Structures are given as C-alpha cells and as structure tokens.
Amino acid sequence: MKSNKIMTNNNCKSFTPSIDNNSRILILGSMPGVKSLDEQQYYAHPQNRFWKVMGSICNVPNLHEYSYDLKLKTLLNNNIALWDTIKTCEREGSLDSDIQNETPNDIRKLLKTYPNIKTICLNGNKSYTAFKKYFPELFEKYSCHKMPSTSPANARYGLDKLIEEWSVIFV
C-alpha cells in the first residue's frame, strides 16, 4: 500500500523490519532512497543490485523479478531479516552522504526480541558508521560485517564482485 506523501520537507522514515523468529542474519541498510520510499519497498530502485545479489546468495537467480512479497519471503526462508540502521532523517534525494539529523532504529530491542540473530551485515558505509556510532557494544556480541553498498552510486563494485563479497554471510 502506497502512502500519498512519504517525504515531506525532506523528512524520511524507515520501514518496519522484515523479520521472523527463524532469522539468523540481519541486513541493515541506512535509509531507503526516494524510489523505495515512494514504492514502500526496500531496494526498489531498478539499478540497485541488492535483489540480484540476494538472488545469487539464496540460489534464486530471478529473485529481482519476483513480487516484493515473494522477495521478502525468500529472504525469510533463508533466515535473513531486513531493516535499516536509521529510523528517521532529513535528506534531499537518495544519497547517504546527504543524510542529516538522523535518529537510529531501536536495534537493541529488535535483537532482544529475535535472539536467533547472530550475524549483522551493514549495507554500505553510512549504515556501518551509524551502527558504530549508536551501537558500538553490539560489535562484541554479534558477528558484524561492513558490506559494500549495493547502491548504483557504488560504481566501484560490479555485480560479480558484490556477490563475492556478500557471500560471506553464509560462511
């Protein structure tokens, strides 16, 4: 269901987590981009490689072509939860470098509610730096991985390199 106005005066708000009691891996983005906020779907921008990377890792090559609900179910079936490090922020456009006045999501509470999570993957630099700023003690309790961003803004990484780097989550 689409909201009529997701961004007002450049205020952004993250989505609820996609998670269940079987989740063992938590992937945290920073804040959904404009297209994702408009569509109310994680990684909705067609050039974002997230769903292609997850499709490869989950052995579902066409995952990026699935409906959004099936994409989320595929992740959950592979024990992967999805959320964002940042709950709210101000940002014009979609670039993480433009994020200002951020507030974090309550990741501590989420992890207490879902104790099977053992691994946390931080999608990109902004997710990593925000997580490190607000939750430094979690690095000692969980296996945390700074992952290369799947965003099209991360031109340094081709799809094959992203898949190779992200494959660590199943090691």
Query: What DSSP string describes the chain?
Result: ---S-S-BTTEEEPPPPB--TT--EEEEES---HHHHHHTSTT-STT--HHHHHHHHTT-TTGGGS-HHHHHHHHHHTTEEEEESEEEEE-SSS-GGG-EEEEE--HHHHHHH-TT--EEEEESHHHHHHHHHH-TTHHHHSEEEEE---STT-TTS-HHHHHHHHGGGG-
| 171 residues of the chain, pLDDT tens digit each | 444 444 444 888 888 999 999 999 999 998 887 788 888 899 998 889 999 999 999 999 999 999 999 999 999 999 999 999 989 777 776 656 666 688 899 999 999 999 999 999 999 889 999 999 999 999 999 999 999 999 887 888 999 999 999 998 775
Domain boundaries, the chain: 12-170
- Between strands 11-13 and 86-90, the pairing is antiparallel
Among 4, 11, 48, 77, the active-site one is 48
Distance CA 31, CA 70 (A): 22
**Domain 12-170: what homologous superfamily?**
Uracil-DNA glycosylase-like domain (3.40.470.10)
The pLDDT value given to residue 112? 97
48 an active-site residue?
yes
